[in-house]
A and B are shown apart, each in its own frame.
Chain A
């Protein structure tokens, strides 16, 4: 055994520890980098030497810089983040809807219904009174205005969700392109000697962001490429190739967007998107808000129908047979309005039951407040509306609970991921001390070998 070989060992050790310190440095530097996976140098012994006593392990090298991560945990996170994206989108959108229908202040449709019924009662006790007629018209106009305004606010939520769907599709396409690009680079580098850790970190982040937008399935093939599919098995990314999505206005759904593959624009894939933000926006747009609109329309249509029927049974102040109180051609919440004839002449309000001008018909119209005319003749107008609001409150409360649940799960998983892949400065400091000690020891080895050599040379 020569002194020179010991010098070689010392050199390898110095280089290895230097590399280890560099790795520690990179971990410390990236302590706040999103998606950064901590790296760990893997020391291995290099070569052996035969001596009389047996094999002696020689030297050291760093075999690889390993990314410390748990593939199954990443998969679990990508699974969860889809549900998280879906539930958070629903929560946010439902909260917007809840603001529209906030009846807690007592200034919503419910209150205006009450004012409308009250105005009819007042008119019944003074049928010729102009102030009573004006008050009734104004109560009815406020009520119809609020119907129209709530309806258009709901449609605005739908329109915004629709625009968000188009934006998300653009974002998804960007991520698909980036993932395909990274797939390509990772494949090239792994066949060579290049380091793919940074590329893989970037790809993991992109996959996670993608999963938050749309529910995906994926696997990593033998070449290290991440292949991604939507839930019906159609490919989004395959190695370096990707298939972009697009939106198409659907004439059968108020010209709202269907999501399609760019190369197959005729076929909607809406039904295969069952989770993620995209599905959340589609659910709000096509199901939740649409159902609320339907309920509101039903309420408006029934109001127009019932009030008009009773109003036509009465007589106005000029002894005419009562006309329609609400415009009979406008029977949904978006358009509901008091009929032009009544707006033009409040004396056309048919408050009387006879040509003599009593107030009994106004009382009969007012009695509709207690009539069971909705929900298969089981609900009054106010009853129907308050259970409608209760339903929205329940939907929001449940969306909040579900979202909180998924947020908690995501937090737990992130903590788990961080506990495996996250950087701990304390740990890195201790590693630094460890590697520094190793480095100092190797340096000491160097100087010892040098002394040995000096001693040897001194003999000459």
Chain B
């Protein structure tokens, strides 16, 4: 077989190409060594890159969920401790009621007891108005005022309120007498713009979450929202306009001004978690509650001041029930805390698993890379040695 001619250019080009190839591999390894990552650009491992991004996304979500769990946990711990104090105060109130309903008590002790009950009332009120950060623990979702007042108010309909950006510049007034059993926020949204008689509106009795049917605004501007609430619109220069919002808070009679809603956060993919217990179910006889605690204490105080042992005794059952009601809520806090603990453990497990998966996919195996790197170093040295020598050998060395 005829040998292939090897021209000088071939010799040098081949050598240079091979040297470049070796240097390229060496540099790639060096990249990986210095970044400690297998994937330094998407093309290094496209499917791996996709997996890492998916893991990172999940990890970011897990971090958010964990933050939510932490803040919900703080909220619940705080609620629980406040409620435990309330419970202790109720136990004390019951002791007083028991003592003062017996024959050994007299008008003087009852009067002193009434003072203590009044203090208990104030303390429970201040516990019930506790805040976490800027938010009332027991107000439901209505945070614009302290949820509990010192005196019971009759059923009220608040003044009609308007959203800041409403276009309508006429006035709106609320009226009627509230017949609802719990506190509500009624909202009216204008669906299509127009003058009275033309514009249409919707009513929501849960603050704007769910909306009723679309109705035309009567020419007179009087509408009935429900539960006995009326609104009267008086036209201004600008007509009712789409998305104008009017709302009114209505309270049932009693000490509570919050609402029965709960607060939610997400603690997992599409897992919402209610972390609050509304004051309505803890302190009132409305919604899920059975006893109005403040009314009971107020009645007890009145009975003591009236020196009426039978009336005092009548409140013992109520105080019992109040204690049970608060304890039930403490138990709910405990259950919520447990649920959060489980969630937190799962999330932190998941977080570390994801970290491990990310690391497995994109981090280099140090032992492996170091070995490869040393090997490549030897190859590079060999290539340099060869390159240095190949240029030197020629027939010229042997001609004189």
Contact = CB atoms under 8 A, between A and B. Distances in A.
- Interface range on chain A (Cβ under 8 Å from partner): 35 or more
Contacts of A99: 41
Contacts of A32: 9
B8 A419 contact: no
Interface in B114-131: none
A102 B41 contact: yes
Interface in B225-248: 243, 245, 247
A382 B42 contact: no
A163 interface: no
B349 interface: no
A391 to B, nearest CB: 8
Contact of A121 (B68, B143, B164): B68
B64 A122 contact: yes
B146 to A, nearest CB: 15
Contact of B245 (A126, A321, A425): A321
Contacts of B141: 354, 356-358
Interface in B38-79: 39-47, 49-50, 52-54, 56-57, 60-61, 63-65, 67-68, 71-72
Contacts of A396: 41-43
A397 B43 CA distance: 5
Contacts of A98: 41-43
Contacts of B56: 106, 110-111, 114
Interface in A294-320: 315, 318-320
Contacts of B54: 382-383, 386
A227 B206 CA distance: 84
B163 A126 contact: no
B368 interface: no
B1 to A, nearest CB: 14
A39 interface: no
A429 interface: yes
Nearest to A369: B61
Nearest to B399: A429
Interface stretch (B99-107, B193-201, B258-266): B258-266
Contact of B57 (A363, A367, A382, A387): A382
Nearest to B243: A321
Interface stretch (A11-19, A410-418, A452-460): A410-418
A419 B133 contact: no
Contacts of B34: none
A132 to B, nearest CB: 11
Give chain A's interface secondary structure class: helix
Contacts of B371: none
A74 to B, nearest CB: 16
Interface stretch (B10-18, B81-89, B323-331, B382-390): B10-18
Contacts of B68: 121, 124-125
A103 B9 contact: no
B37 interface: yes
Contacts of A86: none
A419 B395 contact: no
B6 A355 contact: no
A386 B270 contact: no
Nearest to B266: A363
Interface in B1-27: 4-10, 13-14, 17
Contacts of A240: none
B362 interface: yes
Contact of A358 (B41, B189, B261, B362): B261
B367 interface: no
Given A125-B71, A359-B265, A429-B396, A103 B42 contact: yes
Given A124-B265, A128-B134, A355 B247 contact: yes
B280 to A, nearest CB: 14
Nearest to A128: B134
Contacts of A393: 41-46, 49-50
A354 B187 contact: yes
Contacts of A31: 8-9
B42 A424 contact: no
Interface in A102-137: 102-104, 106, 110-111, 113-115, 117-118, 121-122, 124-126, 128-129
Contact of B164 (A319, A359, A395, A424): A319
Nearest to A111: B56
B57 A386 contact: yes
Contacts of A101: 42
Nearest to B247: A355
A121 B265 contact: yes
B266 A124 contact: yes
A423 B53 contact: no
Contact of A117 (B47, B61, B265): B61
Contacts of B47: 390
B207 interface: yes
Contacts of A382: 53-54, 57
A363 B264 contact: yes
A356 B264 CA distance: 14
B208 A315 contact: yes
A397 B144 CA distance: 59
A358 B263 contact: yes
Most interface-central of B8, B37, B72, B164 (chain A CB within 10 A): B8
Given A357-B141, A392-B43, A429-B394, 8 more contacts: A104-B41, A115-B60, A122-B67, A355-B208, A358-B141, A369-B57, A386-B53, A396-B41
22 contacts: A103-B53, A104-B362, A118-B63, A124-B68, A125-B72, A129-B133, A320-B163, A320-B165, A354-B261, A355-B163, A356-B141, A356-B143, A356-B207, A367-B266, A383-B54, A387-B50, A392-B42, A393-B44, A419-B10, A420-B5, A422-B5, A424-B5
Question: Which 4 residue pairs are nearest across A and B when measured between Cβ atoms?
Answer: A422-B7, A393-B42, A354-B207, A114-B60
